[in-house]
Structure 1
Amino acid sequence: MRITTPRVLALLCAALLSWYTFQVAPDLADRERREAAARADAVLPPTTVLPDDDRTPHHPAQRPTVSFPAAGKAFVGVFTAAGTHDFTEAADFTRQTRHRPQVYEFSADWETDHFDAEAINSVARRGMLPMVAWEPWDHRAEAEEPTLRGEQPEYRLSRIIDGSFDPYIRSWARGIKSLSYPVAIRFAHEMNGYWYPWCEQSNSNRRGEYVRAWRHIHKIFDAVGARNAVWVWSPNISYENSTPLSRLYPGDAYVDWVGLSGYYGTVGKENYQSFDRLFTPTRTELRRFTRKPLVITELGATDAAGRKAEWITDMFRALPRHRDIIGIIWYQAVKEIDWRVGTSPASSAAFSAGASASRYQQRWGPGMTPRLR
């Protein structure tokens, strides 16, 4: 092949592109990750020393008596998309609201996430109760078509019931048991819809299988001795054609906290709805069959109509009237809509004012036990 100037230039360009792709770009990305982690730690540094002895919550005789939250108190937590991989959004939430969250929720799916004690410890060291949204599916295979999101045959409820996932479940149970503090497990949430493989309306699941799957998993944790797991049963707020909640409830013997997901501004709920209007109908439905403490495990509001600050103010005004609601968890992420609290100075200020009330000021510590009444 004859050497020409264009060919030499092309080879040089290819070499430069290869050098940038495999050397410079990874270094820049790694530097950005380190800088983001440093910024997060500056705002949300570790504050808690975890016990390293054998006085763990699964030894009943040595359980502490301080409950979280205490009577008359409620917590304000945060749920981020990055989870334990990056605390930047939690740090942004803290800076914007001047409130350090007491609970940190993050997702773990059964296909890609194995138990990682250090990841969960990284939450607890920052003075936050870890809450795992534990999801039996492969989130990477999520279909774009909403009606097909729940179709993953490998993760049918019947396969959980028949023991196909027992080794995986047992590994998490043993891992949770090994920790010296409670960990909340929000297993297979929003089960009353159709958009996840564990919903009875999808994936060829059958009526009654959700409860059977929940109890099967709970019994494995009991057999292993993972008494420090806090079981959070968390449906979506009810809507037309959603599965009745009483059909999906595993029973008080298998649940510690009940939860709800609800947003102002989702499809079909674009018009302004106050906190009470959004949650009261489903809360009333829940109270027909359980008196377990209630946590709003996913919460957010749109600013599309410029009323986010108003909605947040209304929420904090309403919460003290509902003593059974022991905590809320704000969804600090962008998913179709920017749900983050700091979309405007007004919404940040409204949240800061509401969360500054004394009822939200109790700090979480690893020696506390979850409030069960």
Structure 2
Amino acid sequence: MTAHPGRAGRLRRRLALPLLTATLLLTAACGPEDPGFALQEDLAQPAPTGTAVATGAGAAGAAAASAPAQPKALPTGVPYDVTPLLKPSHKYLGAALPGVPASMDALSAYSAAIGKQPNVLEFYSHWKGGFDTAGVRRIYDAGALPYMAWEPYDHSLASIAAGDTDDYVKGIAQAVAKLDLPIAVSIAHEMNGDWYPWGRQAASPQDFVGAWRRVHDIFDKAGATNVIWVWSPNITDPAPNTRLAPYYPGDTYVDWAGMTGYFTRSGPKTFDTLYGPTMTEIRTFSKKPFFISETASEQGKRQRADIDQLFSGLEAHDDIVGFVWFNIVKRADWRVEAVPDTLAA
């Protein structure tokens, strides 16, 4: 993340979103005394006055979490500082759900089904579409970090790097800055694959890096420092000969090293074989925290074991800050509630 003068001083004056501070433990039911739902000193930050704050549901059978302190008015003119959210004390539990954020109807059903309310909600935004200010507010008001996967379907990365979409990007950056709520953003995810029009078959690593840096710089100039930048390649398994380092924009342009990786019937069977090679390669050029920006398990006999692998792997790696479960039907049914054994896992 690009350094900003006076950030430390603003951090002492600025408080962040309570549910984001109460990031969820992955191993046990959370009751009122569980630190996973406590307001931690390093992240304790009431939301702006008038913002609805969800405290989250405990696991099935657990007591409800204690309510956070009442929100206080925030200083005016102080940009939102996302620094406390970058390395949380506990891991984020995220989801991508159908209809979110245009509608939040799927959130309550999903939260009830798994016994936890996600505190990251990922959604997908077309490059030339407007910024969904109302939708991002809905996610924030539900107590979650909005995560926008920005998809340049109609513009090449080369054209973005050359500045052809600067006016559009400036408009989005200004809207994000004006909103002044925390938001995670990825650009052209899975760029090392060949299944998207911005992938390796259509764009060079130089095109990708140039586009990323140009967009990031425009956001900085607009004062949109409330963004967590998530660089999000696919795991290397489908493209083992495509190196990731040439696609990396640099540590000053990235906050989380994201990874997209799914457990499939014919793919790697353990956490380490699925994510390990990618993590090892990324660690040769970056020490940024990892974030699994998309994952799920294909329905079948291995699904419950896959989920066990996911959670045990997350526990074993302190440098992974959380994950997003892709709970949408797309080329396969990835929904956890569709299979009782999976839901139990």
- Under TM normalisation by the shorter chain, which class is it? 0.7 to 0.9
Matches within 5 A, 1:320-339: 320-339=315-334
CA distance in 2, matches of 1:177, 1:218: 13
* Conserved? CA contact 2:82–2:182, under 8 Å: no
Which residue pairs with 2:253 in the alignment?
254
Superposition map of 1:201-240 within 5 A: 201-202=201-202, 205-239=203-237, 240=239
Gap change, CA 1:68 and 1:241, over 3 Å in 2: closer
Structure 2 counterparts to residues 178-193 of structure 1, below 5 A: 178-193=178-193
Whole-Å Cα distance in 1 between the matches of residues 329 and 123 of structure 2? 14
Give the match's secondary structure for 1:282: helix
1:120 pairs with 2:136 = yes
1:58 equivalent in structure 2: 79
In the alignment, does 2:293 pair up with 1:275? no
The match for 2:280 is 284
Aligned residue pair count: 279
Of 67, 70, 80, which aligns to 2:88? Answer: 70
> Is it true that 1:313 corresponds to 2:329 in the alignment?
no
Tell me the alpha carbon deviations over residues 67-108 of structure 1, each in whole angstroms, 9 at most, x when there is no partner: 46533x111100124221222333332111101001000000
Unaligned runs of 5+ in 1: 1-44, 139-154, 351-373
- Cα deviation for residue 118 of structure 1 reads 1.2
Structural mapping, 1:13-24, within 5 Å: none
Mapped contact 1:80–1:90 kept (Cα < 8 A) = yes
Question: What displacement does 1:220 show?
Answer: 0.5
Q: Does 1:86 align with 2:82?
A: no
Could you say which residue in structure 2 is the equivalent of 1:343?
Answer: 338
User: What does residue range 87-166 of structure 1 map to in structure 2 within 5 Å?
Assistant: 87-111=104-128, 113-138=129-154, 155-166=155-166
Please tell me the residue identity of whatever aligns with 1:116.
Answer: D
Q: 1:193·1:242 contact (CA, 8 Å) conserved in 2?
A: no
**Deviation larger for 237-246 or 186-195:** 237-246
Q: Of 294, 299, 319, which residue of structure 2 is paired with 1:298? A: 294
Could you tell me how far apart the structure 2 residues matched to 1:244 and 1:161 are? 21
Q: Deviations over 1:256-289 (max 9, x none)?
A: 1110001111xxx625612221111111111110
Percent identical pairs in the alignment equals: 35
More contact order relative to length (CA 8 Å, sep ≥ 6): 1
What is the distance in 1 between the residues matched to 2:157 and 2:232? 17
| Higher helix proportion | 1
Q: Distance in 1 between matches of 2:327 and 2:282?
A: 26
Q: Which whole-Å CA distance do the structure 2 matches of 1:230 and 1:65 have between them?
A: 9
Q: Aligned partners of 1:290 and 1:196: how far apart in 2?
A: 25
Deviation at 1:52, TM superposition (A): 7.6
Distance in 1 (CA, whole Å) between partners of 2:72 and 2:334 is: 36
Q: 1:50 to 1:333 in 2, by over 3 A?
A: farther
Q: Cα 1:176–1:56, aligned 2, differ >3 Å: closer, same or farther?
A: farther
Aligned-partner Cα distance in 2 for 1:300–1:65: 28
TM-score by length of 1: 0.70
In the alignment, the residues of structure 1 paired with residue 211 and residue 103 of structure 2 have an alpha-carbon distance, to the nearest angstrom, of: 31
Counterparts of 1:324 and 1:235, CA distance in 2: 17
Contact 1:97–1:348 (Cα < 8 Å) also in 2:
yes
If the length of structure 2 is used for normalisation, what is the TM-score? 0.75
Query: Which residue in 2 is equivalent to 1:198?
Result: 198
Going from structure 1 to structure 2, the CA distance change for 1:221 and 1:52 (only over 3 Å counts) comes to farther
Q: Distance in 1 between matches of 2:76 and 2:308?
A: 42
Q: Secondary structure at the match of 2:192?
A: coil
